[in-house]
């Protein structure tokens, strides 16, 4: 017998379990399984693409030894990048918008990153926005690499190479629907592409939020700035069109309200014992909204992005929930 251990923390990324959802989906005719990504070492799906983006940048010389990794992140990509940076010997500067939870900022600092906080309520091309600030820091910082997860093709590729094949194998090829929140678009596009190559009949549904442009753009081809307004839900929806969102792979979007996303985040914990992040609440509510699309033999896989520990001050804080008008 040989000893079994991972050579470093990065070798524990991937091969996350599929877990059946029981109570919240009891009114659906089908089997609903969650791809439970919090089992990754950084507690989120983003560990996969963070490592892939770094490895690809090392391979083609964009990221050089002793370099500084710079990225705008809502927290989870930063965590994945930071873990890889620690093992591989890079510095990190992360730019985060002020709507993200304090826990996310504290966690990034805990793993040695420098954190720069920017205002949420500014246009994407405003010099104060987190897109603009991260780009500028990338230009100003010597020996640095600006990741740009939104347009970096390694993001979707990571899910095409790992998450998609895992789901196909774990469902024995029986998956009929894949449902996931859409932010950068890497997960839905990479997984969706892989699944449709195995079986073109697999339906791929994106979860969007009110205040985001995705659903209308997918249905009409119109980028409508009137759709854009600030929203509370974290990690999904955008006020830009990232290159990683491959709209041709997506069969449709359903939008979930901030309130429903928050309430269902609590319900996942209380009814299923699944202590998850805000986007998981949005995702399971989205599955329920898609009820009429499912038949008795269907196998629906919904991906849960991140962990409840990032939201203890918000969705898991009843004072906050009452202040927002989400709890009576």
Query: Which residues are designated catalytic?
Result: 46
Which H or E run contains 18?
strand 18-20
User: And the tokens for 127?
Assistant: 């010099």
Enter the DSSP assignment of 143.
T
Per DSSP, which regions of 76-192 are E strands? 91-97, 114-118, 144-146, 177-181
Pairwise CA distance, residues 261 & 201, whole Å: 28
**Cβ distance 161 to 193 under 8 Å?**
no
Q: Is 304 within 8 Å of 283 (Cβ atoms)?
A: yes
For residues 277 and 282, give the distance between their C-alpha atoms in angstroms, rounded to a whole number. Answer: 9
Which residue's structure tokens are 């050579």?
7
- What are phi and psi for residue 297, nearest 5 degrees? -90, 0
Phi-psi region of 30 (alpha: psi -120 to 50; beta: other; left: phi over 0): beta
Token reading at 142: 């010597």
Q: Report the C-alpha gap between 279 and 305 in whole angstroms.
A: 7
**Beta strand spans in 172-240 (E):** 177-181, 203-209
Please name which of 229, 215, 222, 237 lies closest in space to residue 282, comparing C-alpha atoms.
Answer: 237
DSSP string, 255-277: EE-HHHHHHHHHHHHHHH---B-
What is the DSSP code string of 104-172? HHHHHHHTT-EEEEE-SSS-TTSTTSHHHHHHHHHHHSTTEEE--TTT-HHHHHHIIIIIHHHHHHHTT
């Amino acid at each position: 017998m040989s000893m079994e251990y991972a050579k470093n923390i990065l070798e524990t990324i991937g091969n996350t379990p599929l877990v059946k959802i029981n109570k919240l989906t009891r009114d659906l005719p089908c089997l609903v399984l969650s791809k439970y990504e919090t089992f990754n070492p950084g507690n989120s799906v983003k560990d996969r693409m963070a490592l892939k983006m770094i490895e690809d940048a090392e391979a083609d010389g964009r990221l050089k030894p002793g370099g500084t990794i710079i990225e705008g992140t809502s927290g989870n990509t930063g965590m994945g990048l930071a873990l890889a940076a620690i093992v591989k010997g890079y510095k990190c500067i992360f730019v985060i918008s002020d709507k993200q939870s304090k826990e996310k900022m504290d966690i990034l600092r805990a793993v040695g990153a420098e954190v720069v906080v920017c205002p949420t309520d500014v246009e994407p091309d405003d010099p104060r926005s987190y897109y603009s600030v991260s780009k500028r820091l990338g230009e100003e910082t010597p020996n640095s690499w600006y990741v740009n997860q939104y347009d970096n093709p390694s993001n979707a590729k990571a899910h095409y190479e790992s998450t998609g094949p895992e789901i196909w194998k774990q469902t024995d090829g029986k998956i009929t629907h894949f449902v996931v929140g859409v932010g950068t678009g890497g997960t839905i596009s990479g997984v969706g592409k892989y699944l449709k190559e195995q079986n073109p009949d697999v339906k791929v549904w994106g979860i969007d939020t009110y205040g985001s442009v995705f659903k209308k753009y997918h249905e009409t081809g119109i980028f409508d700035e009137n759709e854009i307004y600030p929203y509370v839900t974290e990690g999904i929806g955008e006020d830009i069109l990232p290159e990683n969102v491959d709209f041709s792979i997506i069969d449709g979007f359903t939008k979930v309200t901030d309130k429903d996303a928050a309430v269902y985040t609590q319900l996942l914990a209380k009814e299923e014992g699944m202590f998850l992040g805000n986007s998981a609440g949005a995702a399971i509510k989205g599955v329920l909204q898609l009820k009429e699309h499912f038949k008795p033999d269907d196998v629906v896989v919904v991906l849960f992005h991140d962990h409840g520990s990032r939201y203890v001050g918000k969705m898991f804080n009843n004072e906050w929930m009452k202040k927002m008008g989400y709890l009576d």
